[in-house]
Amino acid sequence: MNKKLIIEAKNVPPSRPRFEVLGVFNPAVVKFGQGYVMLARVAEAVVQDEPGQFLVPVLSETGGMEIVKLGKNDPAYDFSDPRLIKNHDHSYLTSISHLRVARSQDGEHFTFDEGGIIAPEGIYERYGIEDARITKIGMTFYITYTAVSDCGINVRLMSTTDFTDFTKRGNIFHSDNKDCVIFPKKIRGKYYALHRPSLSHFGKLDMWTAESPNLVDWGNHKIVPAARIEYAPSARIGAGAVPLLTPRGWLTVYHSADTFDRYHLAAMLLDKRDPNKVLMKSIRPLVEPTEPYEKEGFVNNVVFTCGLTQEKDTLSIYYGVCDQNVALCRMSLADVFANMAEV
Amino acid sequence: MNKKLIIEAKNVPPSRPRFEVLGVFNPAVVKFGQGYVMLARVAEAVVQDEPGQFLVPVLSETGGMEIVKLGKNDPAYDFSDPRLIKNHDHSYLTSISHLRVARSQDGEHFTFDEGGIIAPEGIYERYGIEDARITKIGMTFYITYTAVSDCGINVRLMSTTDFTDFTKRGNIFHSDNKDCVIFPKKIRGKYYALHRPSLSHFGKLDMWTAESPNLVDWGNHKIVPAARIEYAPSARIGAGAVPLLTPRGWLTVYHSADTFDRYHLAAMLLDKRDPNKVLMKSIRPLVEPTEPYEKEGFVNNVVFTCGLTQEKDTLSIYYGVCDQNVALCRMSLADVFANMAEV
């Protein structure tokens, strides 16, 4: 295994004055033309220059950027989480994310497009857009992403053919949901996705499958309980990279986090003709925080993938580290399978 | 306005030995043949005959009924809610619900079918099935219902042409969601539904619309913020009866509950060609707990509709009272509109 840090947030400029970049992370990567394209999540916060106030960025109703001021001593708000400001009635994110386009010839050295910003827009994206996954179907790239707002956490879809013009296609999964990846081929006449609903009373944060005739309307939601990992404590799991069709089935790299928010990546193999059926699963973590850049950052011990590419027998897994930077891990398919056992 | 209690749970026999009926409530009612059909929710609990134990009914993995025993003094469980036993990892309902078929000639006196039980089945229905709504499209009745299990709270669909044989069609909205009603006609080429997602971090418990090409796959989820009521505090709202097409638009009777779980019913008028657009809304409660049977019962102050019928200018609103019995309220359409103002 071969890990390296390939993008550092400190080298990426903010999108507007008064903002600073907290993280460039959780990138989707696909092959495009002769090279590679990345959609990275860029989380920005307002520069905190008003003593006693916490400045929170949100889209205004008219589409501009609004800065909400919360008194740091206001007992109605809980500022203890670096990502989230909790209130019984109206919580906020501390930062607002957009997606940014980067390109590479070698899949390792990426350059951000001048002006290549996919900005949050409209009422479902008021707190930002996050964690894209890119699925190529025909000549079109379908991009699922998480939108956060005071309407909840929705999964939305956009599409592009050139990574310059993007068409947003609305909410495909209602709140609360995230970590949605679409399979790149129809299976028995239907499109399939993995997704991760949130729950309020019963159940665990598990992966589910859904089916669609057209990529925008989804149904037949089914839980994938076998995706839960057994070799370590797991509070939640969620799909990561778009599944890769191998001769043995759909290879899927996903994340698991324990109750201390320590993440690792695992792999599972899904049946070629039934993506709800898990055939094999990692028997130990595939990627876990071992390097300093994986262990310490804006949020410690986070490794979170939104995309991988394949060159012959080698996988390149792109992943966000510590909600701050981007790392790349290369390993052989044989090594991935050597760490899996039948379910 | 003309209210009366029409079904009392104490007169309805349980479905099996060792069980008692806690409530017969939240009924869907439609015209069928020369009369009316009702699908009522019947909540049953285990007769509590083991001192020190709380006996909880759940479907077993093999489909039989299993009785889970929880120590009443076990500090891991919170028994304070009569409906729900809370645990940080594994909560339960105190009862398990099924749906039961009743028929009537006059829409007021209902007789339950011998053996007319739609039982919970499979992993998504392990804690029961609840709160049916019936939409007639062509000659088929489509029934949305809430399924509760340790997979969460899902909206599922079944269909029937005779209310004797029912075909279950899977999860149409993923967990957590409830209070789903399907509109009886396509609008601009699409089926529409109202639904109520639950939320974990951001937002309020609001009504949403979704679209579908085929009644099983749903997308383009949009919030209906204007459905929130303004004349009283409201912690959550949810769709109630199937919308009724009037010359002025889709008339929709729905519920609102405050933070003390005191419910009332309200009405809104949705645009004929855009069900996401609210044209008019009640300016005071349409039905609120005023009668003893609406104010005191298994859960006090609950009025909750899942269906209404229309005879000329008169609406018959069927509603569960106190999660225990069924009441009927008759009022003229003119009276409903007299209580509405433009949004």
| pLDDT of A1 over the 80 cut | no
Instruction: Say if A122 is an interface residue toward chain B (CB within 8 Å).
Output: no
**Residue pLDDT, tens place only, A173-202:** 999 999 999 999 999 999 999 999 998 889
pLDDT of residue B62: 85
Q: Quick check: B151 and A84 CB within 8 A?
A: no
Angle at B250 between CA B249 and CA B255, to 5 degrees: 135
pLDDT at A4: 98
Nearest to B174 among A124, A208, A213 (CB): A208
- In terms of CA atoms, which chain A residue is nearest residue B213? A217
Strands A249-257 and B84-85: unpaired
B202 lies within 8 A of chain A by CB: yes
Low-confidence ranges of chain B (pLDDT < 70): none
- Say if pTM beats, i.e. exceeds, 0.80: yes
Domains of chain B by residue range = 2-342
CB B173 within 8 A of CB A221: yes
Give me the pLDDT at residue A65, please.
93
pLDDT for the residue numbered B73: 93
Q: Residue B129 contacts by C-beta under 8 Å, 6 or more apart in sequence?
A: B41, B97, B98, B99, B118, B120, B145, B146, B147, B148, B156
Q: Touching check for A179 and chain B: CB below 8 Å? A: no
For residue B1, what pLDDT is reported?
A: 72
Asked if A218 lies within 8 A of B213 by C-beta distance, the reply is: no
**Side chain identity, residue B47:** V
**CA distance, residue B153 to nearest chain A CA (Å):** 7
Nearest by CB to residue B171, choosing from A84, A148, A220, is A220
A221, A224, A228, A258: best to mutate for the B interface, most B CBs within 10 A: A221
CB B124 within 8 A of CB B149: yes
Helix, strand, or coil (residue B9):
helix
Superfamily of segment(s) B2-342:
Glycosyl hydrolase domain; family 43 (2.115.10.20)
Q: In this predicted model, what pLDDT tens digit does every residue of A230-259 receive, in sequence order?
A: 999 999 999 999 999 999 999 999 999 999
Measured between beta carbons, the chain B residues lying within 8 angstroms of A150 are: 202-204
Q: Minimal Cα distance from B174: which residue of A? A: A221
Residue of B nearest to A86 (CA): B201
**Pairwise CB contact (< 8 Å): A217 & B218:** yes
**Tokens matching residue B314:** 């008169």
Q: Is residue A13 predicted with pLDDT exceeding 80?
A: yes
Distances (CA, A) of B141 to A218, B32, B155: 21, 10, 16
Task: Give chain A's end-to-end CA distance (angstroms, integer).
Answer: 24
CB contact under 8 A, B198 and A219: no
Give the tens place of pLDDT for each residue, A17-76.
Answer: 999 999 999 999 999 999 999 999 999 999 999 999 999 999 988 889 999 999 999 999
**What confidence tier does A6 reach under pLDDT thresholds 50, 70, 90?**
very high
Which of chain A's residues have a Cβ under 8 Å away from the Cβ of B239? none
The encoded tokens of residue B181 equal 């009603």
Is the Cβ pair B148, A202 closer than 8 Å?
A: yes
CB within 8 Å: A174 and B221: yes
Q: Provide the residue type at A61 as one letter.
A: E
Q: Which residues does A246 contact at the CB level (< 8 Å), separation at least 6?
A: A269, A333
Interface of A with B in 249-278 (CB under 8 A): none
**For residue B159, which of B198, B118, B201 has the smallest C-alpha distance?**
B118
Number of neighbouring beta carbons within 10 Å of residue B144 = 28
pLDDT tens-digit profile of A69-82?
999 999 999 999 98
pLDDT digits (tens, 9 = 90+) for A259-296: 999 999 999 999 999 999 999 999 999 999 999 999 99
Q: Do A208 and B154 touch (CB under 8 A)?
A: no
Contact B88, B134 (CB under 8 A): no
d(CA B184, CA B30): 12
Q: What is the pLDDT of residue B63?
A: 84
Residue B156: Cβ within 10 Å count? 21
pLDDT for the residue numbered B114? 92
pLDDT of B90 reads 86
User: pLDDT category, A299, cuts 50, 70, 90?
Assistant: very high
